[in-house]
Amino acid sequence: MATIQSVVEEIISNSPFLLENIEDGIINLSSLARKIRPEVMERTNREVQDGAITMALKRITPRFNPKINLKIRKLFDNTGDIIVRSNLNYTTYLNSKTLVSKQIELLNMLSEKSNVFYIFSQGIYETTIVLSDSVVKEADQIFQEEEQVTQLRNLSSVTIKLMMDGTNIPGVYYYMLKRISWEGVNVIEVISTTNEHTFIVYEKEVERTFSILKNLNQLN
């Protein structure tokens, strides 16, 4: 038979931001206990009091790690430029034996142009190309025989440059994506180098994304 503790932990783990809200102290545990009580009783198949659920919630509340938080705060206190590029096109193709040669052809074409945004992201089965709209027709011509998975238009990129190396600090991506997700921004793609992190979003969400990244040092 499932225990109260195990059921409560499963309920919380299945709620994307619930555990984070508990940690931040913005959820009343007694109220939450009353809300999830029917589900807990159903899963445990017995009568359960609010107090028992509240105690279970307190046991799973994560411990705050001040050392990690201070490192992240220091990292975001040293933010460099935030650069926005608009009018981007996002296309994903299935990987094939000819796809790399088409990418080379595209790069040769791009080398003759200036002020063009382009990013390649190659996975095991698919490759995504993000390009300025100004060269999309030429790119479509180059890749016309490749199998297209999806194509999105009216996108923008927001790139944040961090002045310190954050690769050895746990939670850096988590803090950035958490802030963006809380604002309801749909991130299409995330592409990064050691110190630059680029978020591909719809053009209508550029201002919000820029504002969020600009204020990352305002951590709870």
Predicted local distance difference test score (pLDDT) of residue 68: 61
Q: pLDDT for 27-59, tens place per residue?
A: 888 999 999 999 999 999 999 999 999 998 888
Q: Which of 37-51, 101-115, 181-195, 206-220 bottoms out in mean pLDDT, i.e. has the lowest? A: 206-220
Name the percent of the chain lying above pLDDT 70: 91
Give the pTM: 0.70
Residue 117's nearest CA partner among 176, 191, 170 is 191
Domain spans in the chain, listed from the N-terminal domain onward: 4-63, 76-214
Predicted local distance difference test score (pLDDT) of residue 50: 92
What CA–CA distances, in Å, run from 32 to 55, 99, 184? Answer: 12, 52, 23
Tally the C-alpha atoms within 13 A of residue 92's C-alpha that lie toward its C-beta.
11
Tell which CATH architecture fits domain 76-214: 2-Layer Sandwich (3.30)
Predicted local distance difference test score (pLDDT) of residue 62: 59
For the chain, the average pLDDT equals 87
DSSP 42: H
